[in-house]
Structure 1
């Protein structure tokens, strides 16, 4: 399995995040990727590949030019407010909710932060654009490798991507790597692509990007948004609209769900994938479903991730795995690589 590794991921290193009303050290940190990379090396699984850079027009297939322009210049604009901001991460403090307008971009940078973000828990740092853009390069390269005949590929990058929408960031995510991979496959000749999101949190950004379309099937198994982030999307009645009707399947699970319940949802997802008959599969691989994860209320154990990989292998589809969430750093490498090993050894 080819592993497209973002060597610049650590340039995005948030100092703090707002979590449940407190300023705390970031859960999303460089050590997450380091843990996975070390485990790949220990098992000798996966050939590490450095991605080729992709043009901005490839990102514009998913993200709006206005949003990309904001991200590229955000840190310079933050420093222009006050050079002392170099020692601070940028956080939004105001948002254009409901009756407020979002079509006009404010001149005020602090207002721009709110326009393009969905929460106050995602620090924007000096290296955010570099890390996120290189991660997007990895995703597009992985998609292209599948179209060239590779059976599978793994994108090892951070920050993650599935909460990022066409024109907003949040949930630690800035560019939607899964969406970029799927769109590149379509642009490269695929008729239909499926995205399976296994992260504990619903992939609201991915859903919103493809919600009106019938060439991408989006399926997400996640914590019920009535009690868990992102709260405002991910319910079972969200099935797509217009041409996309029936191409969105959410499988929310209650707090404390067992591994048996989770695997039952996975089987439902796999059956739907089979009926959609995609040309390729993108897996948003979050392993914060682990029982020991500090942000999870599910009960999967490390051995369960081998079973996940094995089940996905039997779909017999070219598959791109995109690293998303997972915050139990000690076990993170084992859990992620178990999925990949389960996949590689199943057939």
Structure 2
């Protein structure tokens, strides 16, 4: 299995995280990548360092004004009197504001509110470079499987909560969506995205919401009690050409291996019915029973069985790393999943 990684990820070391009104240390730290690399070494897998995604490549799924914001925000932010070290919005425009507004506002505070969904995506001076490097890994994995087989992209920061024009939930550029779009551009008539992160892949759903050529399947904890709170429910099926091409499989809190794998089986059955030419897996490890903010209770063996079940689709498969924040076990979980997959 070809693997891709970039040392640029270390340039993104976010500090700010807001949880239930309390400021806490951010979970999405460079130690995550170190743990994942240990998991690759355990399997004897070496990773290549591809170039970062270019602006033109990112435009395949992201809006130009959003990319401008990601590139410029940290520089403009530190120029503000009394500014903190990271861009964190203190206001987000409500639907009423947007409906009644007479003009756009280019101030960095206004742009931060418009282009971030929450306070879990602080932007520092190295964030855009790290995110572009992660996107480059995802694109490299997609290129690697054009002729078949599987590839793994160690994407940090992750991406599945990022919309076309908005960051959120530790995510800035949607690596999974970029990989799926690249496979479409390279000749795959239909692509399926399977997201097994414990959080709903809301950004990916949003990007492909009105498209019937990309099936989005997300297996996650019940968003009635869990991020992203507003979307991820079973009745969300897509719209326009994408109606029926979105499948959400929310699970009760505490769901363990058997229930999780049963839900995965439903997702795999939907993928088989869709008959895609290629697959992108959004691989989150935060369904683990040992996660610091766990909602599900999947074991190492559960991840290994999931890898084997997904491999049985026998599709060209680009695997993009998403969440998973227990750095003590993250590499082991990756090794078990890829080992089950056949890596």
- What secondary structure sits across from 1:202 in the alignment? coil
The corresponding residue for 1:298 is: 296
The alpha carbon displacement at 1:303 in A equals 1.6
Conservation of the 8 A alpha-carbon contact between 1:201 and 1:223:
yes
The corresponding residue for 2:15 is: 15
Conservation of the 8 A alpha-carbon contact between 2:14 and 2:123:
yes
The alpha carbon displacement at 1:150 in A equals 4.6
Conservation of the 8 A alpha-carbon contact between 1:3 and 1:155:
yes
In the TM superposition, 1:278-289 aligns within 5 A as 278-289=276-287
Which ranges in structure 2 are unaligned for 5 or more consecutive residues?
Answer: none
Which ranges in structure 1 are unaligned for 5 or more consecutive residues?
Answer: none
In the TM superposition, 1:191-206 aligns within 5 A as 191-206=189-204
Conservation of the 8 A alpha-carbon contact between 2:177 and 2:204:
yes
Distance in 1 (alpha carbons) for counterparts of 2:328 and 2:243:
41
Conservation of the 8 A alpha-carbon contact between 2:210 and 2:238:
yes
Runs of 4+ in 1 over 4 A off after TM superposition: none
In the TM superposition, 1:243-258 aligns within 5 A as 243-258=241-256
The corresponding residue for 1:47 is: 46
The corresponding residue for 1:170 is: 168
- What secondary structure sits across from 1:329 in the alignment? coil
Give per-residue Cα distances to partners, 1:51-93, cap 9 Å, x unaligned.
13443111111000010011011111112224x64x6222101
The corresponding residue for 1:6 is: 6
Distance in 1 (alpha carbons) for counterparts of 2:97 and 2:213:
33
- What secondary structure sits across from 1:207 in the alignment? helix
The alpha carbon displacement at 1:40 in A equals 1.2
Aligned length: 341
The corresponding residue for 1:319 is: 317
Q: 71-80 or 168-177, which moves further after superposition?
A: 71-80
Distance in 2 (alpha carbons) for counterparts of 1:280 and 1:121:
31
Distance in 2 (alpha carbons) for counterparts of 1:150 and 1:131:
28
In the TM superposition, 1:254-269 aligns within 5 A as 254-269=252-267
The corresponding residue for 1:184 is: 182
> What RMSD over aligned residues (CA atoms) do the two structures have, in Å?
1.4
- What secondary structure sits across from 1:78 in the alignment? helix
Distance in 2 (alpha carbons) for counterparts of 1:268 and 1:253:
12
